[in-house]
Each structure stands twice: as C-alpha cells, then as structure tokens.
Structure 1
Amino acid sequence: MFVRTKRFEMKPTVAVTDSDMECINFGIDLTSKKTPKPAVCKTVCKCFAITYEDYCRHTSLHGVQYLGEEKRPFKERIFWLSVFVVSIYCCANLILSAYTKWNETPVIVSFAERSTPVWNIPFPAVTICSETKRVLKTKGNNSFVNLYSQLSADMRASRVFQPPNITSIEMEEFRTLLHVCNTHSIQQEMPIIPGDNLDYYKLLERMLPPFDRYFFYCRWLSRFNECDKYFRPTLTEEGICYTFNGLRPTDIYRKDTYQYHHSVQNVSHSTWSLETGYDPASDVETYPARVLSAGARSGIFMTLQSFKQEVDYACRGPVQGFKVLLHAPDDVPQVSKQFVRIPMGREVLIAVKPNMITTSAGIAEYHPLRRQCFLSHERSLRFFKVYSESNCQLECLANFTLTKCGCVKFSMPRSLDMPVCSEDKIYCYNMAERELLVREFHRVRKLNSNSDMSRDLETACNCMPACTSLVYNTEISQANFDLHEMLAAEGDTEFLRDYPGSQMSRLSIYFKQNQFITSKRSELYGVTEFLANCGGIFGLFMGFSILSLVEMLYHFTLRFGVNLKQLFKVDS
C-alpha cells in the first residue's frame, strides 16, 4: 500500500565554457554592449576631417585646396584663409548692389527697335475754348462788370448780395459766370447770394455765342465742311469748349456719372485702346480718326472768328482769342493746365510730334510699385472706364474737394447724387486744388527721404503713369493774318457788313513726320540677368559655379555618410 519514494541527489553542475555557450546560443552575442558616446563623437569628427581634406583636394574653388593640406605651413593657411574671406566679402557687396538695382529699378525705358507709322495711332484730340463766354451786354446796368463791382462792395460790407432791378435770368447768368471768369479774385468772405441750385451746364450752353459764327469753316483730310460735323461740346473747368476726335463721354465715363447721362450722343463703343491699338481689321475711317501721312493736307484746318463788340474784357482779362489743347482721345481735357494760345489776326501752324511709350510683356510680372506704372486692368477708377494719369489726378481732386468743401466743382467728374458747389464755395474748391498739390509734395518728399519705405508705399492719390502712354508734343509757328487787307484787295465789301467787327485767325494742325520713334518699357534686370550677374561675380572672385555647389553638397552629405559608415565598421 505504501510506495517508497526515491531519493534524488543533486549532482554537481558541469562547467560550460564561453565558446560552448556561443554554440548553444546559435551565434547570438549576449555579451555585446553599445559603443559609448565619446567614441561616436570622436568617429564623427574624424570622418568630418577626412571628408574636409578630400573636399579640399578635389574642389574647383580657388585657394581652398591650400587650406586642407596637412603639410602646408600654418602661416600659409592663415594667408589663404584671409584671401578667401576677403573674396567672400567682395562677392557679398557686389551681389547686394546687383540685387538692390534689380529690386528697385527693374524697368528701363529705351528706344524701340522699329519706328512707328502715324496711322498706327489716332490723330490728337483737339479741344478749343473761346475766351468769349457770353456776348457782351451793352444795354442796361446789369453787365458782368457792374454786378461784380456791387458784389465786391457787399463783400467788404458783409451784406447779402441783392442787386435791384435784376431779372432771375440775369442773376443766374451772373452766378454762372463767377465760376468761369477770373475766379482767382474771389475771396473767402463772399456774401451769400440767394437762389436755388443751378444747372450750370444748361446756363453755359444758353450763354454761348453761336457756334457757326465763331467756328467759321473747317477742312479735314482735304474735305471742306461745316465745323459742327467734326466738333462736339465738352464741359471743362473753363466752361463749354468744343472737342474734335475725342472719345465720347459714354466711352470715357462710367454709367453712374453725371457726364455719362448728360451725353447727347448715342451710346457707342470704340475698338481702339491705347494698349492694343486699332483692330487689325479696321478700315481707313476709324473712331477715333487717324491719318495716313504727315503734312498739312492730312491734318485739320479751321478758321476761327470773334467780334470786337462781343468781347467782355471784365470776365477773361485783356488777352482774348482762343485756347487750344492737344491730348490723347481717352483723356479728359483740362484746358487751364496746358494750352496753346491762338490770338486774333494770326495764322498758327502746329506741327505734332507724338511721344509714345509702349510696354513689353515681361514687366507685367512685376508689382506696379516696382515698375512705377499701372497696366489698364491694375488701377480701377471710380468715375472713368479708362485709366490715365491725368484722369486719375482729376478724380483724386474731385474726391479731395468733396471731402474738404462738401461739394465738387461743376466741371469735375461726379456721381448723380454728388452736390455741386455754389458761388460761396468757389474760394474753397480753388484752395482745395492747391492744398492737394502741397500735400502730395510733402508726402512724396517724405517717401524720398526714406528710401527703404518709398519702395513699398504709395502717394495718397496713387496716380502713377500708365505703362502705355501717348503724348503729343508740338512745334508752333505764327504769321500775321490780315483779313481787312485781303478783303480790300479782293474788293469784298459785303463780308464786313454781314460780320461787323470780325476778327479772324487760322489754325492748322498736322503730323510733322510720317513715322516716329517710340519708347519701350522693358526689363533692365530679369531673373536670368540677375543670376548671370551673380555667376560672373562668383566666377571672378572664387571660381564658383553651380557644379561647385553640387560638389560641396556631395562631399558633405553623400560622401560624408559613406566615410562615416566605413569608420564605424573599422571600429567594430
């Protein structure tokens, strides 16, 4: 029943050698340990030194091979290191100068490769203003000079201007003439003139002398015709003038402006633009018009007339006659800024020399502040469809006048709901124009004094030139035009009976040459030129190239890794 248990004795263990243990563990080294960190750092430094010496022996950079030679004396190494540092410093300075030039003046204006025929551009728009704003009234005491004298007296006495025995029409005409006569004499303390708001355009139109009496006859492209076939009325700061070959208001102004809605012409669309020119399929007869050659026969010729008894010297001063302005068809005429005076009894010949600046396709990639001009789609104006520097400045003046005076001058571009300045605001809008110029002057001077800021800032108006622009320069010659001597020689006595007091002048406008040299905005330094400039500087001072950079990257990345791997194998 009882089972006797066996007695087991513990026998001594057999000693196993390390070699036998390795066999038992199937080659697994259980006693291996990680390489200590000091050994790793030492290996990396040794690898870097080997790679550096190898790079110095094989690099194409000038002078670097002397820095890696072990047997090279220490003084010579210091010398070549100094030369290398000086070369890098010179390279950095020259490259910085090239970068500054590329960044600040990337665009250059130079002459185009080919000349341009005059039929590629429109004939200049011609705006003519007569100095006679209203036929002088000789009857009654309510002439402009008498009413203005009473206004000055009331101004000094701080009284309300209420002249006796004056009709409402005479008062409206006098109030309108205050805006177009010598407005510089208007002072700030103008007395209040009672009355409702006026439509100055209708009043100016009503006061104008008959058009056919002052524009006697015209000739365009050797065809005589009535002048009203070529000219249309234009509202300017000097009243209603007449423009030939300008774009219609519907092509210049936006739909929500007063000028667009006041246009009497039908809505039309011009196929010409300053940047693209005429449509290649367009015929000889175009809008705006162009000519096919130079010379007086291919220009416009007209006879202008005024009458001694109708001149009001109190309104426009002692210099009478006409003012003529030549401008691009898409510009709004501003006659008071620049004009040619046409005195009476003279024949004036105006030879036109176009000055056109075009744009290369490459500069469109630059920011407008860098190239210092606007493309047509980059600067949108509130009142105008077409951007030009003069249109932008006129819009800026209108906005500034509205802010300062609470109204705009009757001739300024405006929306339908903008108030028009009355007579008590004449001094205000005259001073607003001067204040805007002074403010722009101080702002530009401040920007120029800080060259770092001026590259990134713009003026308040932000009216840089258009990248493509067209200006008509003129050469003027004059001669006497003796109307009375000519009539006496011909025995004509009826003309002076039909036109008593007539004074005549003749005006001829034409291109001087068949072709002209245009200017072109193009890249001064593109990316390619900048890289080539940098490569030349590096090559001159150091013998550096793109392959030198690849060589450096190769040695200190791929080659360094291979050397480091081999050193770790040797250490293990």
Structure 2
Amino acid sequence: MNVGEKTEALTFDADRRSPKYRLKDLWIEFRDSTGLHGVDKIKPPSVNPFSIRGSIWMIALCSTTAFLVYNLVDQIGDYYSYPTITKFTPRMVPFIDFPAVTICNRCTLNKTRLDVYPEMETYFFNRSLGLVNESLVPVSDVFQKQLSLEWWRNMSMDGAEMLMSCVFGGVQFDCMSKFRPIFTSEGLCHTFNFNDSEIARVKKAGDSKNLMVLLNINQNHYTFTANMAAGIRVFLHNPSVHPDAGSTIVMAASGFSTYVSMQKYEYIYQPLPYMAFGHSDCVDTTSPEFVNPLKYYSPYTFNHCVMECVQTKAFDQCGCVGPSDPRGGPLCSLTKEGSCYKIILDAESSKANFLEECGCVGECRFDSYTAQVSSSSFPAKVWVNHLLKTRGAQDKEAMTENFVVLRVFYDQMMVTTITQQPQYTAASLFSNIGGQMGLCLGASMLTVAEIAEFLVFITLFLLDKCRGRKARNRISNW
C-alpha cells in the first residue's frame, strides 16, 4: 500500500470514528456564540426536555420577538404612509419683497363717458339688479357688436384722475409711472409693483415707510353696479401673479384713511409621494423637469389653473372672452358678457366637481399675505383748507365723498416660513428599528447578520442531508 492509499484510509477511519454532527449541535454552537439576549438560556430538548427555566426563557423570547415584529410592521407601514409635520419659522430679515398692490374703484366704469350711448345707464341699472337677459337688452349696435379692449379702456375711470399722490419708502413718485393698468374681474384697475424687472423692496416697517396713496374715486362719475358701494377694492398678491389669482382683498371707504398692516408667509410643501393639502398632492414648480401646462397664464399656480379652466369653459360655450381673459379671442358684446360669459363663469366655479374636471394641482411653494385693516377719519379739520387749495376739491363734503387715503405696510420686518417636513427619514426609520430591536431582544444590525448566517448554515445542513452527505460543522470550520 502506497503513501496516498494509507493517507486516504486513515482519513476514512477518522471520519468513521468522528461523532455525528446533528442539527442540535448547530443550535448549541449558535446559542453559545450569538449576542442575542436570552438564547443562551434555552437548551436543546434532548438535554432537558422539561426544563422550567428553558421553557420560561423560550416563552419570553417568543413574546418579545412577536412584539418586535408587530412594532416593526407598524413602523414600516407608518413610514410608507409618508406622514409629515409642519414647522413654523419666524425670522427677522433686513429687507422684504413688497407685494403687488392692485387698486380698483368700486365702480370702474365712467358714467360721463357712457352717456354718449342712449339707454346705457338703464342697461347697467337693470344689470346690477340681475334683470338683464338677451330679450331685454336694447337692440343698439353698442350692445350687440363685439367690443374691444380700447372700448373698455375709454369707458373706464381715468387712472390719472383717481391716483392723486403716491409715496413709497418715504419718496414721492409719479403715480402713473409705477401703477400699471390691468383688467381684472372688477374691470380696469391699476397695479403697483406688478411684473416689474426690479421688485420693490422695503427695509423698514411702519405705515410711513412703505406705500401711501391718495385717491379720488369721483363718485359723480359712478354708474350703477351690483356692489352698490363707493370706495376702492385692494388686492395684495405676488408680483408675478394676476390680481384675480387668490389675492388677499381689503376694502377702503371714502372719507377715511385706511391702514393695511401686512405679514408675509412663505409656504413650502413636499411633492409626491407626500400629501401636501390634506389628501391631495402638489407640483414642484421649481423642479428643472417642470413644464407649465397652462397656455395663457405664467407662472403656473393653482389659481391661474382654475382661472384658465373656467375661462376656457366660458369661451367654449359663449364663443367670446372677457376683458381680463389673456387668450386674446374675440371680446364679448355687452349682451354676451352679461347674459352668457359671466353667468358661465359663476356657474362653473360653483359646481361641486369643478376642481376634478379642471385637474388643477396646487404648487408646492407659494407666498401669501395676511392683512389687518384699521381706519381713521380723513381729512382732519386742520388739513381741510390746505387740501381744498392743493387738491381741487369743491368743499369738505366733496372730499369726504371722494377722497381715500390708503397705507399698505409691513408691521414688522419679519417673514414666517411654514414648512412641511417628512416625519420619518431613512435614518430615523433605522434608528426606530434599532431601538425596538435593542429594547426587545438586545439586538443590533450585527445580530441580524448572525441570525442570517445561522439560517444559511441550517439551509446548508439540510442540503447535505438531502444529498446523503455527512453534515459538516461549518460554524467552527468557517
């Protein structure tokens, strides 16, 4: 017998004489080496099948494992429901962007200009009371023909007459050089700081440091309107957004100095898969991949989307547009505007499924302004004579009926950011899982690796058995 044959024979004899490696041995070696708490107290059944201590530890281990699994399922389910928290962060700033301020006379049409058309005053009187339909509209050409923006401008109040004096940041300026005429749902209005290349900023707060405007609403030129009011309507909105698009609105009456104290809020929401507004999502308009889906309004906002949707429906049904519609189609006649266009706008906006039909989604980032309004009588007696001389009013009664002082200002140099943040991050999820594992089993990520390795060894042990091979002690050998 040569040396190789002798060595093989000796190895065979050693293997035949070595003790049989069993699944119990695999468990004992894992139990003695693992860092999992309580496992070393559990003995194999063949050693002591009725060990009270071992049974108690087995029950304790199974109970804590079940509790751990229950908590982990709950934690992971909560994580994938994408919960959020809201964080309020007020901060003092050295300067604040000023909002656009749109001023509309409560009657934007000028009676003295409308008087060139017979029956015009009667028409607007009936229309303000809701008594106008196509059968009752006069047959004159002005009521039936397609109008133009130039016609509406010519029939509106003159901005140069309404805006008498303007001051911003303590510096007086020519009102018409900074106020831009713009058509809104109220008619022809005038906007300060709208779509300018340089957005106005303020560095100081207070009613004397921001915007002050003296106006003459000219009630003698009023015609009949549905609101039956005198004074001005003021929109506070983002400088890049149309005044009708979700602005903060305040009213100011003639004979008063009205103070509008503002605060600015910045809203930042999380895009999908998070829910931004209750059960709806938001669109990240700052993303490089975002493309504005709107045809006529820019930038994209929820309110711009709603306005375009409603105006499109009105155009489809009436075949014409209103003065404030940017699509540039044929403008409605007075008949179509009063009996079709405005009726469709109101009807569509009030439908229960309106937002679903339009498919408008809120933007994830936007600004808003809150306003507190107060007022005092204007003018004070001591100023009456001076204003009569310099402002061309006939008497104090005329000033009380027509003059409005508007002061729009920040009450303090502070911006509040409202941020929606994920309640769970990947790091916090793993921290919670690690805490649960440590609390229940005294385990860590390395313990999970030990358990995974043990399961691999069991699989290999069973494969050896199935193939008729001798099971090997891989825990010690590897």
TM-score tier after normalising by the smaller chain length: 0.7 to 0.9
User: Which of 386, 397, 407 is 1:508 aligned to?
Assistant: 407
Q: Which residue of 1 aligns with 2:39?
A: 64
In 1, distance between residues paired with 2:78 and 2:378? Answer: 56
In 2, distance between residues paired with 1:570 and 1:224? Answer: 96
Q: TM-score, normalised by structure 2?
A: 0.78
- Cα contact 1:238–1:335 (8 A) shared by 2: no
- Cα contact 1:324–1:335 (8 A) shared by 2: no
Q: Sort the Cα spacing of 1:419 and 1:501 in 2 relative to 1 into closer, same or farther, 3 A.
A: closer
Question: Counterpart of 1:104 in 2: which secondary structure?
Answer: coil
Q: CA deviation at 1:245?
A: 0.7
**Structure 1 residue 431 corresponds to structure 2 residue 347:** yes
**Structure 1 residue 357 corresponds to structure 2 residue 280:** no
In 1, distance between residues paired with 2:152 and 2:200? Answer: 28
Q: CA deviation at 1:288?
A: 1.0
Q: CA deviation at 1:480?
A: 0.4
Deviations 1:496-517 (A, max 9, x none): 3599945211111122112334
In 1, distance between residues paired with 2:182 and 2:127? Answer: 30
Q: Sort the Cα spacing of 1:141 and 1:227 in 2 relative to 1 into closer, same or farther, 3 A.
A: closer
- Cα contact 2:236–2:369 (8 A) shared by 1: yes
Structure 2 gaps, min length 5: 9-19, 473-478
Q: Which residue of 2 aligns with 1:203?
A: 151
- Cα contact 1:52–1:68 (8 A) shared by 2: no
In 2, distance between residues paired with 1:391 and 1:153? Answer: 30
Q: CA deviation at 1:81?
A: 3.8
Bigger strand share: 2
Q: Sort the Cα spacing of 1:323 and 1:569 in 2 relative to 1 into closer, same or farther, 3 A.
A: closer
Stretch of structure 1 that moved more, 334-343 or 346-355: 334-343
Q: Sort the Cα spacing of 1:228 and 1:401 in 2 relative to 1 into closer, same or farther, 3 A.
A: same
**Structure 1 residue 132 corresponds to structure 2 residue 107:** yes
Deviations 1:29-72 (A, max 9, x none): 9xxxxxxxxxxxxx8xx643321232223322233334443326
User: Which of 206, 209, 223 is 1:298 aligned to?
Assistant: 209
Q: Which residue of 2 aligns with 1:461?
A: 359
Deviations 1:68-111 (A, max 9, x none): 43326266555444433332332233223333433334443313
Question: Counterpart of 1:246 in 2: which secondary structure?
Answer: coil
User: Which of 245, 258, 279 is 1:348 aligned to?
Assistant: 258
Deviations 1:327-382 (A, max 9, x none): 111221118975111100000111221112357xxx67x64647943321346231
Q: Which residue of 2 aligns with 1:447?
A: none
Q: Sort the Cα spacing of 1:123 and 1:553 in 2 relative to 1 into closer, same or farther, 3 A.
A: same
Question: Counterpart of 1:296 in 2: which secondary structure?
Answer: coil
Letter aligned with residue 326 of structure 1: L
Q: CA deviation at 1:235?
A: 1.6
User: Which of 179, 187, 196 is 1:231 aligned to?
Assistant: 179
Q: Which residue of 2 aligns with 1:448?
A: none
- Cα contact 1:409–1:429 (8 A) shared by 2: no
Q: Sort the Cα spacing of 1:570 and 1:91 in 2 relative to 1 into closer, same or farther, 3 A.
A: closer
Question: Counterpart of 1:62 in 2: which secondary structure?
Answer: coil
In 2, distance between residues paired with 1:154 and 1:124? Answer: 35
**Structure 1 residue 549 corresponds to structure 2 residue 448:** yes
Q: Which residue of 2 aligns with 1:535?
A: 434
In 1, distance between residues paired with 2:323 and 2:132? Answer: 29
In 2, distance between residues paired with 1:157 and 1:418? Answer: 21
Q: CA deviation at 1:212?
A: 1.8
Letter aligned with residue 111 of structure 1: F
- Cα contact 1:106–1:526 (8 A) shared by 2: no
Q: Which residue of 2 aligns with 1:282?
A: none
Question: Counterpart of 1:513 in 2: which secondary structure?
Answer: strand
Q: Which residue of 1 aligns with 2:29?
A: 54
Deviations 1:255-309 (A, max 9, x none): xxxxxxxxxxxxxxx5xxxxxxxxxxxxxxxx11111222234311110112232
In 1, distance between residues paired with 2:53 and 2:313? Answer: 71
Q: Which residue of 1 aligns with 2:302?
A: 389
Q: Sort the Cα spacing of 1:118 and 1:550 in 2 relative to 1 into closer, same or farther, 3 A.
A: same
- Cα contact 2:323–2:331 (8 A) shared by 1: no
Between the two proteins, the alignment pairs up a number of residues equal to 440
Q: CA deviation at 1:156?
A: 9.3
Question: Counterpart of 1:339 in 2: which secondary structure?
Answer: strand
Letter aligned with residue 85 of structure 2: I
Question: Counterpart of 2:103 in 1: which secondary structure?
Answer: strand
- Cα contact 1:106–1:370 (8 A) shared by 2: no
Structure 1 gaps, min length 5: 1-21, 30-42, 173-194, 249-269, 271-286, 444-458
- Cα contact 1:408–1:420 (8 A) shared by 2: yes
Q: Which residue of 1 aligns with 2:163?
A: 215
Stretch of structure 1 that moved more, 421-430 or 297-306: 421-430
**Structure 1 residue 110 corresponds to structure 2 residue 87:** yes
- Cα contact 1:91–1:538 (8 A) shared by 2: yes
**Structure 1 residue 482 corresponds to structure 2 residue 392:** no
- Cα contact 2:322–2:332 (8 A) shared by 1: yes
Q: CA deviation at 1:395?
A: 3.0
Q: Which residue of 2 aligns with 1:179?
A: none
Deviations 1:110-166 (A, max 9, x none): 134x724152x4111101101122222596893545235778999799846445xx5
- Cα contact 1:393–1:463 (8 A) shared by 2: no
Q: Which residue of 2 aligns with 1:333?
A: 243
User: Which of 314, 322, 342 is 1:410 aligned to?
Assistant: 322
Q: CA deviation at 1:485?
A: 6.9
Deviations 1:177-223 (A, max 9, x none): xxxxxxxxxxxxxxxxxx34332x32221111222211111011222
- Cα contact 2:84–2:423 (8 A) shared by 1: yes
- Cα contact 2:86–2:420 (8 A) shared by 1: yes
In 1, distance between residues paired with 2:161 and 2:438? Answer: 77
In 2, distance between residues paired with 1:130 and 1:513? Answer: 29
Q: Which residue of 2 aligns with 1:525?
A: 424
